[in-house]
Amino acid sequence: MNIALGCDHGGFPIKAAVLDALRGRGAAVEDLGCFDTHSVDYPDYARDVCARIVDGRAARGVLICTTGTGMSIAANRFSGIRAAVCDTEERARRGRTHNDLNVLVLSGGCITPEQAAAITRAWLETPYEGLEPGNERHARRLQQIEVAGRLSEFATLGPADPEIHAAIADHVAQEDSTINLIASENYVSRAVREAQGSVLTNKYAEGYPGKRWYGGCNPVDTVERLAIERACRLFGAEHANVQPHCGSSANMAVYFAMLQPGDTILAMSLDQGGHLTHGSPVNFSGRLFNIEAYRVSPETEQLDYDALEAQAVACKPRLIVAGASAYSRTLDFPRFRAIADRVGALLMVDMAHIAGLVAGGAHPSPVPFADFVTSTTHKTLRGPRSGIVLCRQQYAQALDKTVFPGLQGGPLEHTTAAKAVCFREAMSPAFADYARQVVANARTLAACLQEDGFKIVSGGTDNHLMLVNVAASGLTGKEASAALDQAGIIANKNTIPFDTKSPFVTSGIRLGTPSVTTRGMGEHEMRRIGGWIVEILRHVGDTDLQQRIRRDVTELTRAFPVP
């Protein structure tokens, strides 16, 4: 086992005994100093030891100062470090079995070298018990520490700006205690949050890696190269631009790279599931381009590819957009390609909603079929709030020139770093399991609602979301989502195809499973949640019922903490 060892002048007198104890039991020790009794600052040594543990160079660490107090405080500032002073062998053993103590802190001024050696051996040789059956309480409590750590992530903001601090703390509490069924949201990992909240926000980096307008860009060049390389590898793309600030600007970049104002775009109508940037008259897309909107079949509520083809032949678009914000069925990308080829159009797939499913293999990939693939990174993909564009190499230069200097100035390299972290996470086998579970959970939730008589648009779901036609049950989407909200179940009202109500009222609600699946919930929990939704929607005015379910929701969320 690799152990990092650090001490200050007060710890130095017992260090040799600790080193011997560690090496005598086969540990590979990196001795980071100090090396005599001249006065030094203990935080420097705590930092060096803990940095090695958090980046994986060392499995555990030992820190020694006069009392152990300063070293403990300094070490515990690092997330993922569990450090405590141990002055007896029993404390060291308990620290391991119960608390998975990964940093042993010793007090050079209070114990003898012989005691230090014995304590060190006890700590080194005792395993953590929290993963054994019957000892789950230890793992649960350690997890609680990590969850509470969400508050520590912005602790210095408290005194600096109490109002903003309070609002963020409220959001943490809301995330912790409610069930989030908003299909376009997710909970990012702490690693993504750390990259997003990093000092890279300080850097200007107009241009691209190796060709910047500013000095001092080497670290951000590394970040952006990694993000590009990972995005290409994750999705099998020839080229990636990772600078768009969001999904809307990713779409704008493709339109501006390939189209002239007035060109025709064939895209899904907003009121049928498309996105604002697919040609809504209030959006730049609808104001600058000639939009032909395609719709779903009134009978099946699914895309009718024959009708789409006939429409494309009639309107001869320069660009066809596939992709939606509220469509629950698998998109047939080969068919979209064939239609685009028949009419000589470019094909852009906006996979914002399904990007995580594509990455995890739970939805077919658009990349082999599309000229451009745009995406947000914050929905099923579980990254920071941002955007990307993937394209064929032949369009790379036009795309890059359009993003910068065409549309944007300096890229947000802290967000780029967070995107790179998210792409790495999305390449893991665990993410493929996650993507599969998101779909399985959505299917189960839809089936529960259908069994109880609720109408799901298009008859079901193949992906992470569903539209529930609540008008068929005598409700509006507005009433339904407000009632669910009272019980701590967060969803959004949504128009359904051929809706007769305004977008502020709507006939539907949209439900999605990316967030609950990130919390580790499975089909059993979906059946419970489905049951609650049915009860609430059957009795929308029953506030007692809402309060009872609110208590059940709180209990369920406690068992599935937000990462």
Instruction: Please give the residue ranges that form the binding site for ligand PLP (CB under 6 A).
Output: 184, 246-248, 275, 277, 323-325, 350, 352-353, 376, 387
Smallest distance from ligand PLP to CB 252, Å: 9
8 Å CB contact between 494 and 508: yes
**440 contacts: CB under 8 Å, gap ≥ 6:** 522, 523
Q: What six digits make up the tokens of 507?
A: 């006939």
Give dist(CA 17, CA 387) in Å, integer: 55
119 backbone dihedrals φ, ψ, rounded to 5°: -65, -45
For 554, the 3-state DSSP assignment is helix
Catalytic-labelled residue, pool 350, 371, 413, 525: 350
Residue tagged 């429409």 (tokens): 311
For residues 196 and 248, which CB has a smaller minimum distance to ligand PLP in the complex? 248
Catalytic-labelled residue, pool 87, 204, 225, 424: 204
> How would DSSP label each residue in 404-443?
IIII-SS--HHHHHHHHHHHHHHTSHHHHHHHHHHHHHHH
For residues 350 and 425, which CB has a smaller minimum distance to ligand PLP in the complex? 350
Cα distances (Å, whole numbers) of residue 379 to 10, 150, 388, 389:
51, 20, 13, 15
Asked about 461 being catalytic, the answer comes back as no
Smallest distance from ligand PLP to CB 321, Å: 9
Catalytic-labelled residue, pool 82, 337, 379, 382: 379
Q: What six digits make up the tokens of 153?
A: 């992530």
For 2, the 3-state DSSP assignment is strand
For residues 93 and 385, which CB has a smaller minimum distance to ligand PLP in the complex? 385
For residues 327 and 454, which CB has a smaller minimum distance to ligand PLP in the complex? 327
The CA-to-CA distance between both ends of the chain, in Å, stands at: 28
For residues 68 and 323, which CB has a smaller minimum distance to ligand PLP in the complex? 323
For residues 52 and 464, which CB has a smaller minimum distance to ligand PLP in the complex? 464
Least Cα distance to 130 among 99, 86, 101 occurs for: 99
Smallest distance from ligand PLP to CB 251, Å: 6
Smallest distance from ligand PLP to CB 481, Å: 17
Q: Max Cα separation, the chain?
A: 89
**309 contacts: CB under 8 Å, gap ≥ 6:** 339, 342
Q: Tell me the sheet residues that pair with 40.
A: none
Q: Tell me the sheet residues that pair with 106.
A: 64
Smallest distance from ligand PLP to CB 244, Å: 9
Q: What six digits make up the tokens of 90?
A: 């029993």
Smallest distance from ligand PLP to CB 108, Å: 54
Catalytic-labelled residue, pool 48, 206, 229, 263: 206
Smallest distance from ligand PLP to CB 137, Å: 41
For residues 207 and 512, which CB has a smaller minimum distance to ligand PLP in the complex? 512
Cα distances (Å, whole numbers) of residue 110 to 37, 58, 118:
16, 27, 14
Give dist(CA 492, CA 481) in Å, integer: 6
For residues 321 and 439, which CB has a smaller minimum distance to ligand PLP in the complex? 321
Smallest distance from ligand PLP to CB 376, Å: 4
Q: Measured at CB, which residue is nearest to ligand PLP?
A: 247
Smallest distance from ligand PLP to CB 379, Å: 7
Cis peptide before 34, with omega less than 30 degrees from 0?
yes
Asked about 350 being catalytic, the answer comes back as yes
* Beta strand extents in 66-177 (DSSP E only): 83-85, 103-107
For residues 22 and 319, which CB has a smaller minimum distance to ligand PLP in the complex? 319
Catalytic-labelled residue, pool 94, 225, 385, 501: 385
Q: What six digits make up the tokens of 361?
A: 């293999």
Smallest distance from ligand PLP to CB 350, Å: 5
For residues 464 and 519, which CB has a smaller minimum distance to ligand PLP in the complex? 464
8 Å CB contact between 1 and 27: yes
Cα distances (Å, whole numbers) of residue 115 to 17, 21, 111, 160:
9, 11, 6, 44
Q: Which residues of 55-86 are buried (b: 16+ CB within 10 A; e: fewer)?
A: eeebebbbbbbbbbebbbebbbebeebbbbbb
8 Å CB contact between 534 and 452: yes
Least Cα distance to 463 among 364, 533, 560, 333 occurs for: 364
Q: Which residues are catalytic?
A: 204, 206, 350, 376, 379, 385
